[in-house]
Structure 1
Amino acid sequence: MTVVPAAARAGTRAALIGGLICAAAACGTGTEGVAAQSRAPWREPGSYSYTLLSSGGERTLLGTFRITVRDGAVVEAVGLDDSGRGVAERVPDAVPTIGELLDELDQALRDDADEAEAEYAADGHPVRISLDWEENAIDDEALYVISAYEPAED
């Protein structure tokens, strides 16, 4: 797993490809140098499942969830703890796709949040997104930990 500042996500595809080529050429073997400088390109599939631990701040989305996405939309969200079960029952529309979490990260970057960072798996999907819009504000942080990501076979 590689920690990559979220700002690297905002670069253009050409810059990413160029960076990967340069990194591979610089390190000799390719793979470790590439991972250290940027994340692998990742496109959210239409269907997948994942586990989300959402914490931090006074947010609507607190708890642990097992989420199933089909055709780009959440079709099932199962709360795996008391908080998650409560959210899944009261406000099921609050449970996001991974793409929606990345949109929130991008918005935090556009809003010049004090912290907007992500860690990515080798395949490029995020495994941790950490946001803090204002360092000195209380309860505006968000931490999303993504695990057990499984793309669906079409």
Structure 2
Amino acid sequence: MTTPAVRTRPRALALTALAAALMWATAACEDGSPAAKVNDPAWQEPSSYTYTLESSEGERSLIGRFEVTVRGGEVVKSVGLDEAGRRLVDRRPEEVPTIGELLDEAEAARKDDADKVEITYASDGHPTRICLDWEENAVDDEALYAITGYAATG
């Protein structure tokens, strides 16, 4: 007994691929972690700290992994930890943000009625994940920032 050949139409494949891409984009900011609204905790950004930023999603200019040093409220050193991060640091180092600037972006998205603004916080109150999606049905307008290795310094 032979199994019948399965034929797929190009249009059906295209629709399936589109549906999968839309589901992926919708789920990109969801990881099952509880999310808090912007400015829920009373965390105050210190003037000096270090952190690692992984920025992904969408077609924003800030894509890559970075080791960031902040002093006096300004980024004084950023090191690209992957190819995209190194490329950005070489060309436009001023685009690597402080954590406060990431929170400002989230607040601006909230004020602009973005469809999704989710921030996850560590027990000490600093953000560990910021997920933004200005328009749920648009492709490549999302931003996802993962903040790790945070340490206040003096």
Provide Cα deviations, 1:85-128, integer angstroms capped at 9, x if missing partner. 00011110110000000000000110110000000000100000
The aligned counterpart of 2:36 is 5
The aligned counterpart of 2:50 is 49
Once superposed, what is the RMSD of the aligned Cα atoms?
1.2
Unpaired segments ≥5 residues, structure 2 = 1-32
SS at match of 1:5: coil
The aligned counterpart of 1:102 is 103
- Please show how residues 121-136 of structure 1 align to structure 2 within 5 Å: 121-136=122-137
Higher helix content, 1 or 2:
1
- Please show how residues 1-154 of structure 1 align to structure 2 within 5 Å: 3-7=34-38, 9=39, 39=41, 41-153=42-154
Distance, in Å, in 2 between the alignment partners of 1:134 and 1:5 is 19
- Per the TM alignment, residue 138 of structure 1 is displaced from its structure 2 partner at its CA by 1.0
Unpaired segments ≥5 residues, structure 1 = 10-37
Larger radius of gyration: 2
Which runs of structure 1 show a deviation greater than 3 angstroms over 4 or more consecutive aligned residues? none
SS at match of 1:86: helix
Provide Cα deviations, 1:128-152, integer angstroms capped at 9, x if missing partner. 0000000111110000000000100
Identity %: 57
SS at match of 1:118: strand
- Say whether the 8 Å CA contact 1:54–1:64 is kept in structure 2: yes
SS at match of 1:127: strand
- Say whether the 8 Å CA contact 1:6–1:105 is kept in structure 2: no
The code of the aligned residue for 2:66 comes to F
- Say whether the 8 Å CA contact 2:36–2:121 is kept in structure 1: no
Distance, in Å, in 1 between the alignment partners of 2:97 and 2:37 is 19
Q: Count residues with an aligned counterpart.
A: 122
The aligned counterpart of 1:28 is none
The aligned counterpart of 2:15 is none
TM-score (normalizing by structure 2) = 0.76
Provide Cα deviations, 1:6-62, integer angstroms capped at 9, x if missing partner. 25x2xxxxxxxxxxxxxxxxxxxxxxxxxxxx64x2100000000000000011100
